[in-house]
Amino acid sequence: MKYAKKSPWILHYDGSSCNGCDIEVLACLNPLFDIERFGAINTGNPKHADILLITGAINEQNISVVKQLYEQMPNPKAVVAVGVCAATGGIFKDCYNMIGGVGEAIPVDVYVPGCASRPEAIIDGVVKALDKIK
Amino acid sequence: MGRRTILPFGPQHPVLPEPIHLDLILEDEVVVEAVPSIGYIHRGLEKLVEKKDFQEYVHVAERICGICSFMHGMGYCMAVERTMGVKVPERAEFLRTVWAELSRVHSHLMWLGLLADALGFESLFMHCWRLREYVLDIFDMTTGGRVIFSVCKLGGVRKDISRETMMKILDTFDKIEGGIKEITRVFTADASVSHRLTGLGALTGEDARSLGAVGPMARASGVGEDARAAGYAAYPYVKFGVQTDTAGDCMARVKVRTGEIFEAIGIIRQCAELMPDGPTDTKVTGFPSGEAFARLEQPRGEVLYYVKGGGTKFLERFRVRTPTFANLAALLEMLKGVELADVPALVLTIDPCISCTER
Ligand code: SF4
């Protein structure tokens, strides 16, 4: 068995997701998946966070919020984009208010596929992001 | 009179999974006014009907909100089927009802968990979400997806539920019903929960009506409206009670929603018994023309869909009036005069779904 060096604290922000990926992120906390047993905590404060987990795409209104959250996080930090919305804009790509994936606003380290992404995949994505914040 | 302070609440806030921004105008610790600003999650879905084929758009409609995803797809299909005069087979109507009620159980359990979390009752959150996983397993088994299913289509449904699978679903409910009763007891009888919720954010029946509240919000204030009683899908064939309460406070909303979980389980059991054999879909040919409304009851309340077609493969207009939008007016009214520390719990008791409100 491999050990992770660090228990990441995670900041979750809902870009313009449909809630599908959002509730799967929260499902990672329930007793079936329970990532908190590894010391990973879902924090509300960007200044405490190691990993920024974003669901949903970037639109005209939230781009400044996403940039701000990213800037407030201390280094080293990683960004995980969850779901195809966060990757490219997904099914909403052609909507008039959409700018595109999270990559349009801030640098992304890990993309988690799926619409909606399953909790296993999200956890896997977070584990991959750990390499970045070693 | 104390000094006035403006406190921003959201769009990124520990208790809110979704981005909504409220400027809370406080006098000491008491809220005197709440000013919302929105748009953080606006995508412009309604306009997309002009670019996407009306059959394909079912997938977009399902993603208006991932929590009541199935019901959004179903409502869109109902409205379009009405413009085209499509008659959905009876078995498909029953299957739609089963999935819709399963969604209600999952949504209410999820909400109970989020509320417990907002109160700081972590273990109760865990129990609610543990029970919810059983329902998600049923979705996984019957549709292949946990939150977005894509089983609803114009003219019926894509998948069938076999007799054995139906029995398995009923077995699951036999198994978890005791657990749901137990968490209900904690919510209604636990001293610390009741201390936080009883009397908070009381809304009179009159106010609920004049502010246009819908769903469990209105029913907790004694307004016994339920769109299911108007009869669509398989609801005319099953018996169920409309849950109401008269207190109108946060506790009453908890009671109404927990009551609805058991009603929903009852409806699923009846559907399993009454479901006729037959096809699960009919062929849909032609293009929608004319306009139609569909009205259905989501976990958060009544939702309206309007479609207008002009005889081409693109619809001319699509409009959704979502339950959270209807309930926001009541929320802003209730926020006046509550303590700052109660704001998260109060915001959560309307069961806000910002994603469908802003679309
Ligand atoms: S990827 Fe799919 S499930 Fe996730 S937020 Fe986007 S539309 Fe919703």
Question: Per the structure block, which two tokens stand in for B174?
Answer: 């036999």
Q: Which residues pair with B296 in a beta bridge?
A: B303
Instruction: Supply the pTM of this predicted model.
Output: 0.88
Total residue count of chain A as it appears in this document: 134
B65 vs A19, A32, A65: nearest CB: A19
Kindly give the distance from the C-alpha atom of residue B294 to the centroid of ligand 1, in angstroms, as a whole number.
Answer: 25
A21 CA: nearest ligand 1 atom: 4
Question: Per the structure block, which two tokens stand in for B92?
Answer: 């498909």
What confidence tens digit (pLDDT) does each residue in B134-158 have? 988 888 888 888 888 888 888 888 8
CA angle A25, B170, B130 (to 5 degrees): 25
Number of domains in chain A: 1
Compare B161 and B359 and report the one with higher pLDDT: B161
Question: What end-to-end distance do the CA atoms of chain A give, in Å?
Answer: 18
CA distances from A29 to A117, B21, B108, B274 (A): 15, 25, 18, 38
- Read off the DSSP letter of residue B10: -
Q: Cβ of A15 under 8 Å from any chain B Cβ? A: yes
Domain that holds residue A65: 4-132
Would you call B44 and A12 a contact, using CB atoms and an 8 Å cutoff? no
Q: ipTM exceeding 0.95? A: no
Q: Which residue type, as a one-letter code, is found at position B226?
A: D
Q: Which residues pair with B298 in a beta bridge?
A: B301
What confidence tens digit (pLDDT) does each residue in B310-323 have? 888 888 888 888 88
What confidence tens digit (pLDDT) does each residue in B247-282 have? 888 888 888 888 889 989 999 988 888 888 888 888
Compare B1 and B307 and report the one with higher pLDDT: B307
Interface test with A, best of B147, B348, B354, B359 (most A CBs within 10 A): B147
| CATH number of the domain bearing residue A39 | 3.40.50.12280
CB–CB contacts below 8 A, A to B: 124
Q: Cβ of A59 under 8 Å from any chain B Cβ? A: yes
Ligand 1 atom 2 nearest Cα: A115
Mean pLDDT (whole number) for B165-177: 88
What confidence tens digit (pLDDT) does each residue in B88-125 have? 888 888 888 889 999 999 999 988 888 888 888 888 88
- Comparing C-alpha atoms, which of B63, B95, B90, B92 is closest to residue B76? B63
Q: What percent of chain A has pLDDT above 70?
A: 97
Q: Cβ of B21 under 8 Å from any chain A Cβ? A: no
Residue A62, pLDDT score? 84
DSSP one-letter string for B128-163: HHHHHHHHHHHHHHHHS-SS----EETTEES----H
Would you call B66 and A116 a contact, using CB atoms and an 8 Å cutoff? yes
Q: Give CA–CA dist B325/B350, Å, rounded.
A: 10
10 Å CB burial of residue A71 (0-12, 13-18, 19+) is exposed
Q: Give CA–CA dist A1/B190, Å, rounded.
A: 42
